[in-house]
Every structure is written in structure tokens, then in C-alpha cells.
Chains A and B, each alone.
Chain A
């Protein structure tokens, strides 16, 4: 079956701009989580969506937002980009409403570079 698909794979933006990243989860998965990975901070949790509702949130400023659609696809938006937002943004999906079995399946990420 198809894995988690993230688009685009690479993105270059200018400071002050905004960006939208997309994530299509595995078919049947209703939970989508977003993570930011940087060399300095490692992997950090941004937020999780389940059935179109944000269910968990990490410690990121309000410039980072997301949403989930009825087909479970999710988008993440970063407004007023800063140089420090340059990172690999990873999306992970899971069934979300059962036990912990199977873990999360991660996509390959979107590498965002802010110049």
C-alpha cells in the first residue's frame, strides 16, 4: 500500500514569506502528526490532527498552524518565515483511535530552506 506522501520534497522561500506543506496519510489512517527536524534541536513535535481536530500541540509559536481535511489529508502552514525555520518537516500518520500497535509511519519529509 502507498506510504505517507509529503509534497513538495524541497522548497526555498524568502524571509517574511509564508509556506504551505502537504501530507497525505496512509489510506485508513485518521491521525496525522507534524514534526520539525533541525541539526540543533533534533526532532520536535509540532501538532497532531485527528478527524479534522487538533488533538495535541507542541511548543511552537502561532506562526505554525495546520489543518486536516475530511479525507485525512493535512496541511501545515508557516507564516512570516524566519531563517530559523529552515528544517526538514516530517509528517507521520497512524490509525489514531486504537492501541499503540504499529506505531507511526513517517513520510520522507519536506526540506524547507529560508533565505
Chain B
């Protein structure tokens, strides 16, 4: 699976959009980009995933560049409860089998 690079930490004001970048320059054609987050002392929580197109769900939006070498997770109106470590993962799915390779992630702090 391709290695991903994320900034170690970011701050964002409550109510503003939080934009979390991720580089995955060696991503292969069959690898999806996944985002998970982990709030202190809990298991990681799935947020969103995508292959080529931009994706949106009730939690966030995922913007993937045309060359697929980087992506941005957008939390449109950040709240204090969005404070967490966010992980960007590039992973392929082979006959349903998958392992997630977590990096160090980005520690996002939402400030009041």
C-alpha cells in the first residue's frame, strides 16, 4: 500500500471549515483513499473514502486531485467534538481483503 504523508498537527476555529491535506504520491490505480479519525481512548471511526472522484457524506467531503497524488478532507463546520487524530490511508481491496496501514495522522484541535 502507498505511503501517505500528513502534517502532524493542525488547529481550526470552531465553526470554520477544517481542511486536512494528505499526500500519496505513489498511490496505485487500484488503491482507494480512506479517512478515519480517532478520538481519545476510542477506536478509529470511518469517515469517508474515494477512488478518483470527489465524495461527500454527512460527515465530510473528500477532494482528490486529478493525478490522485494528494487529497484533502474537509469538515465543513468544525465543532469541538471534531478534535481528534485524523488518518489518511491508501489501501487496495483484493477480493474483499484489506489491511489498513495507519501512519501517524494529523492531530486536529478545534478551538472555541
Contact A103 B99 (CB under 8 A): no
Across the interface, do A99 and B93 meet the contact criterion of CB distance under 8 Å?
yes
CB pair A56 B97 closer than 8 Å: yes
Q: Does B13 contact A (CB under 8 A)?
A: no
Does the CB pair B100–A55 fall under 8 Å?
Answer: no
Tell me which of A4, A58, A107 contacts B99 (CB under 8 A). Answer: A58
On whether A104 and B46 interact (CB within 8 A), knowing A45-B99, A45-B100, the answer reads yes
Out of A42, A48, A100, name the residue touching B49 (CB < 8 Å).
A100
Q: A31 contacts the other chain (Cβ, under 8 Å)? A: yes
Q: How far is the CA of A56 from the CA of B97 in the complex (A)?
A: 7
Say whether B99 contacts A48, CB under 8 Å: yes
B43 touches A42 (CB 8 A): no
A107 to B44, CA, bound (A): 8
A81 to B100, CA, bound (A): 25
Q: At the interface, yes or no: A92 with Cβ under 8 Å from chain B?
A: yes
With an 8 Å Cβ cutoff, the count of chain B residues facing the other chain is 23
B99 near A92 (CB under 8 angstroms)? no
A109 to B87, CA, bound (A): 18
Q: Cα distance A90–B38 when bound, in Å?
A: 12
Q: Which residues of A contact B105 (CB under 8 A)?
A: 42
Q: Mark B70-88, 1 if CB is under 8 A from A, else 0.
A: 0000000000000000010
Task: Scan residues 37-86 of chain B and give those whose CB is less than 8 A from a CB of chain A.
Answer: 42-47, 49
Interface string of A34-58 (1 = CB under 8 A from B): 0100000011110010100001101
Complex interface: chain B residues within 8 A of A45 (CB): 99-101
Q: Is B44 in contact with A56, judged by CB distance below 8 angstroms?
A: no
Which chain B positions have C-beta within 8 A of A90? 43-44
A107 with B46, Cβ < 8 A, contacts A42-B104, A50-B96, A50-B97 known = no
Subset of 7 A-B contacts with CB under 8 Å: A43-B100, A48-B98, A90-B44, A92-B44, A100-B98, A108-B43, A109-B42
Given contacts A45-B99, A92-B44, 8 further A-B contacts (CB under 8 A): A31-B96, A33-B99, A48-B99, A50-B96, A56-B99, A92-B43, A100-B34, A100-B93
